Amino acid sequence: MNWAVLLEPQNLALYTQGIATTLALLFSSLAAGAVLALVFALLLTGPWAPLRWLVGTYTYVIRGTPLLIQVYLIYYGLGQLEWIQARWDTVWPWTHFKEPFFCALLAFSLNTAGYTAEMLAGAIRETSAGEIEAAQAYGMGRAQAMWRIVLPSAMRRTLPAYSNEVVMMLHSTSLASAVPSMLDVTGAASRIYSDYYLPFEAYLAAAAIYLAASFCLIGVFKLSEGRLLAYLAPRKS
């Protein structure tokens, strides 16, 4: 065992860069995915059957295929098409497809959007009839009731399930190392392993970083659930 190698400045710098890349991928994909998920959830629960079918097919495909395959399809598939390569120096948005970070971010955003949309749509469907009737009694239309009553309630009730999705996305960012030139936490560990032939030390350090990040995320969500979902807790007699 040679743990001292991990404390060398160049290796600490590798892990620091990997942490920065991992967190940037995580929060950027969650932000973009949340916006897409909100739109998709509204379409899944909306009155337009063709759009429900289209979005439902999308979420089915996303949830039914491995994330690694999705990353490969975007980076090695779309990113390597001659039609896109002929335009990725001058035509937006194809200019981004030559950037490994963008390809990984796009794959992660589309993936988390599919899962989050289904969670949020389920919470919208499970909204109690009493809340909707109360909104109608106040004279609210469908759209107004959705934005002011149904959606805020559904988002709060989705929080426990969404916390699991966030932690899973943190772990899924390790797949970014499959994209060349991407140095996330797993990529940093792989580089140290290839340089020093110390797989146990390198990957155990990466596991400790993911564990610490997961602990922080779970703590934040637990505090949020305690504040936002307090009204669902059993009343004390």
Instruction: Tokens for 155, please give them.
Output: 């988002």
Highest-scoring range by mean pLDDT, 113-117, 152-156, 197-201 = 113-117
| The pLDDT of residue 210 | 96
- Judge whether residue 131 has pLDDT over 80: no
pLDDT higher than threshold 80 for residue 141: no
Identify whether the C-beta of residue 59 lies closer than 8 Å to the C-beta of residue 118.
Answer: yes
Residue carrying structure tokens 């989705």: 158
Q: What is the pLDDT of residue 235?
A: 58
Res 48 pLDDT > 70: yes
**Residue 106: count of CB within 10 angstroms of its CB:** 21
Domain that includes residue 137, residue range: 3-227
Query: Of the candidates 3, 4, 1, 17, which has an alpha carbon nearest to the alpha carbon of residue 191?
Result: 17
Cβ contact 102:152 at 8 Å:
no
Tell whether 18 is covered by a domain.
Answer: yes
pTM, two decimal places: 0.89
Residue 237 lies in a domain: no
**Does residue 85 lie within any of the structural domains?**
yes
Q: Which helix (H) or strand (E) holds 110?
A: helix 100-125
Q: Are 88 and 97 in contact (CB under 8 A)?
A: yes
Query: Cα separation of 22 and 9, whole Å?
Result: 20
pLDDT at 230: 65
Tell me, yes or no, whether 197 lies in a domain. yes
Q: With beta carbons less than 8 A apart as the criterion, state whether 168 and 33 touch.
A: no
Give percent helix, percent strand, percent coil of the chain, each to the nearest 5: 85, 0, 15
- CA separation for the pair 97, 85 (Å, rounded): 8
Instruction: Pull the structure tokens for residue 222.
Output: 């637990």
Number of structural domains (the chain) is: 1
- Selection from 197, 200, 194, 162 nearest residue 177 by Cα: 194
Per-residue confidence (pLDDT) for residue 236, from 0 to 100: 58
Q: Is residue 236 a part of any domain in this protein?
A: no
Q: Give the C-alpha separation, 182 to 173, whole Å.
A: 11
In a domain, 162, yes or no: yes
Q: What CATH number has the domain bearing residue 159?
A: 1.10.3720.10
Average pLDDT over residues 199-223: 94
Residue 39 domain-assigned (yes or no)? yes
